[in-house]
Amino acid sequence: MVNTKVTLCGLELSNPLIPASGTFGYGYEFAELYDINVLGSFSWKGTTADMRLGNPQPRIAEMTGGMLNAVGLQNPGVDHVIAHELPEMKEFFHKPVMANVSGFSIEQYVKTCEKLDKEEQVGWLEVNVSCPNVHGGGMSFGTSPEAAAEVVKAVKKVTTKPVIIKLSPNVTDIVAIAKACEDAGADGIILKSGELLTNWDVQSVMNGKRMVFNQPILEKILQRFRQSVINENKRTEALIDYDIEVTARILIDSLYTETPAAQKRSAK
């Protein structure tokens, strides 16, 4: 039998299959369809310090090769997740889970990560720095090496679990930002494939007039990001590079890369 086990930042997974955040909720909808313990893990829905209702409808449009969305990080807030979602999750998922965290200030990232770090079933903290910094003019934390590194340093001070930074592709130099996160102590990097679109882009897609992206193009973009980051930081391999189409026909394209520090931890 083929051995599918892999190690991510010191934690062993039975296989490298990890549905990406936002596509899998908190897992229970899919647990009604099959035993999700066949997965290596999953990254749960983006969670913030406080409850968010998200953007008004309509906020999703299907298209060839993927989906447009502007959900707006709808979630019940970290306290509700700890009090209700995690206990329910333990009933049907018996492996470490990846906690996706979003925030709109350094303080919010710290507050959410510090609380989740205390939860036994949380194996990794996946910190999404694509969120706008409300104290920094609204620019995404992930568009600046300095701002992204500041998030990493602040979160690492209050946590003991591996911190994986989810970068934004909507930048001019993703290599510099990845390197800044690594130098600040990040245990891993995720190169995500979501692209910002203009109102005209969205309206054109909804009217059937324009295709903004498709799967082959996303693959090329992701591979270019991957090679750039690996070349600059002398990484030799990426742990997970996957492309999954789940029941809801949501295309996932993510790449997980361990930093050298995390690779040393995995080797122990």
Give the list of residues 6+ apart from residue 242 with CB closer than 8 angstroms, or none. Answer: 16, 17, 18, 252, 253, 254
Closest C-alpha to 194, from 225, 162, 164, 170: 170
**SS3 state at 249:** coil
214 DSSP assignment: -
Q: What angle do CA 59, 65, 69 make, to 5 degrees?
A: 15
Give the list of residues 6+ apart from residue 224 with CB closer than 8 angstroms, or none. Answer: none
Is 113 tagged catalytic? no
Residue 13 one-letter amino acid: L
Q: Which of 9, 113, 131, 181 is catalytic?
A: 131
**Using CA atoms, how far apart are residues 268 and 260, in angstroms rounded to an integer?**
13
Exposure b/e, 71-83, CB count within 10 A at least 16 = b: eebebbebeebbe
- Residues with catalytic roles: 131
